[in-house]
Amino acid sequence: MFKTINETVKVTSSFFRDRVIPEKFEWNGRQHVIKNSKLVHAARKGEGKMFFFDVKDGRDFFKLSFDTKSLEWELNQIFIQK
C-alpha cells in the first residue's frame, strides 16, 4: 500500500547530459542510499519540467519528483508493506 507524503527532501543527485540521477536522500532523520532508480516519466510544469522517479534503497520503495524550475525534490509516496 502506498502512503502519500508530499514533503520536500534533500537529495544528492548527479546530472549527465539530459539525465537526472538521484543517489541518496534524507527523510525522517534517516539517510536512504538509492540502490535502484527508474525514471517513470517527465512532464511540463509551466516553463519548467518535472521528473518522476521510482526508487528503492534496498529495503523500501519510494516515489520522488524533481522540479527543474525550483530545483526542489519532493518525496511523494512511500510503499508500506503489510
For the chain, the domains span: 2-79
73 band by pLDDT with thresholds 50, 70 and 90: very high
What are the tens digits of pLDDT across the range 22-32?
Answer: 999 999 999 99
12 band by pLDDT with thresholds 50, 70 and 90: very high
Summarize the confidence of residues 54-74 as an average pLDDT: 94
H or E stretch at 63? strand 61-67
Mean of pLDDT over the chain: 93
- Cα 34 from Cα 13, distance rounded (Å): 10
Please tell me whether residue 66 adopts helix, strand or coil conformation. Answer: strand
User: Is a pLDDT exceeding 90 seen at residue 64?
Assistant: yes
Short-list 29, 10, 3, 31, CA closest to 73: 10
The pTM is what?
0.90
